[in-house]
Amino acid sequence: MSTDPVDPGVSAPTGNHSATRAITAGRRGSGRSLAPPIWASSTWSSTGLDDTHQRATAMRDTEFYSRYGNPTVAAFEDAIADLEGAEAALAFASGMGAVAATVLALCSSGDHIVAQRDLYGGTLAFLDNTARRLGIETTYIDATVPDAFSDAVRPGRTTLVMAETPSNPLLGIIDLDRLGAIRGPFTMVDSTFATPLGQNPLAHGVDLVLHSATKGIAGHNDATLGVIAGEAELIDTIWASAVLHGAVASPYDALNGLRGIRSLNARLAHQTAAAQIIAEALEAHRSITAVHYPGLMSHPGHELAAAQMRHFGTVLSCRVAGGRDLVAAIFERLELCRPATSLGGPETLVTHPATSANVAMDPAQRDAVGITEDLVRISVGLEDPADIIADLIGALNAAQEK
């Protein structure tokens, strides 16, 4: 069955602005329907042996077997590629599926990776365990040093340079132009916190951009998705390896990812404005020793973020005087904000990274990158920021008075 539009005369309009493209992108096979169709089938019938052989040997055929490709997933990939200014994109069952598949596709035993120390905890665990066991060495650098990435590259051996900006959970900012100027190894940026509407690393010369689309892209806490985007030849190379691992995206999650993209611009407008207000309120509180948010003038990466990002994001983190005991007491007293480990959804979520997202790191590793017991990460939702501030400050004050 063809996935072309029902009416050949129906085509998706385009626009120059990312907010418009979020509405028009990824309408492969939608025809006149405003909502994308869901293709739940795992397999398709063929017209004979020649047709089967052609589809089995084709690159990313969407009407053969859903591990190879699926029309609904392909529509989501089209949308991400459009928003990132990429030739192609490839979706996975999770953000970690995207990380693992990319590393395993591009690196072999004896290869070398350069990565910043303050990466997402799951990525660090993969590099320190699975990749190391397979003979892939990783050198960790201090991303605040301007040429640290390029200086750590070993010509002829370094295969991949991995960065994350803004970083999780400390909101560090990486200079995308410097990263994109590195020649030799592939460069990849985890841009989950920014989303495709916040920044486009490929425009700075970076080879691959990665998202845990579970977060802000899908945006409703009801999809588990990862995605990478870049040049078509590189994406096809990664697909040829990843299809054997089987960490493919579900068409149901891809559908929810497309739905999230449609409202992404409107959600970001509210959430980023609210994050700025909340960050400023927390920075003024006597019991908050530091607030990490690129929108604050006090943030060391503020000017760089302003130059390469369209907005400062929906996530911030702060340090609470009193450490883990006070953090635990605050979490017990919150009424509106919800303790949970994810981010990017409509509800404001608070996380203690040392006991959740970064729990796989030993205490010395966490301390080395600043993920200490006093650190709290806040994913700002769609509530009124005044209510979030009242809840956070109220819980903080009540915890101190106990």
The pairing of strands 112-116 and 375-379 is unpaired
- Cα end-to-end distance, the chain, whole Å: 66
Burial class (CB in 10 A: 0-12, 13-18, 19+), 191: buried
One DSSP character per residue, 241-262 reads: HHHHHT-PPPHHHHHHHHHHHH
DSSP 8-state secondary structure symbol assigned to residue 244: H
120 is catalytic: yes
7 is catalytic: no
Please say whether the beta carbons of 192 and 95 come within 8 A: yes
Q: Return the bridge partners of 140, or none.
A: 115
Say which of 28, 120, 253, 319 is annotated catalytic: 120
- Cα→Cα distances 348→59, 191, 338, 379, Å: 41, 20, 6, 5
402 is catalytic: no
Q: Return the bridge partners of 243, or none.
A: none
217: closest CA among 254, 173, 166?
254
Question: Token digits for 255?
Answer: 């559908």
114: left (phi over 0), alpha (psi -120 to 50) or beta: beta
What is the residue whose two structure tokens read 């053969």? 64
Distance CA 135, CA 87 (A): 32
DSSP 8-state secondary structure symbol assigned to residue 144: T
Say which of 27, 28, 60, 215 is annotated catalytic: 215
Say which of 61, 65, 67, 178 is annotated catalytic: 67
Say which of 82, 190, 253, 391 is annotated catalytic: 190
Q: Which active-site residues does the annotation give?
A: 67, 120, 190, 215
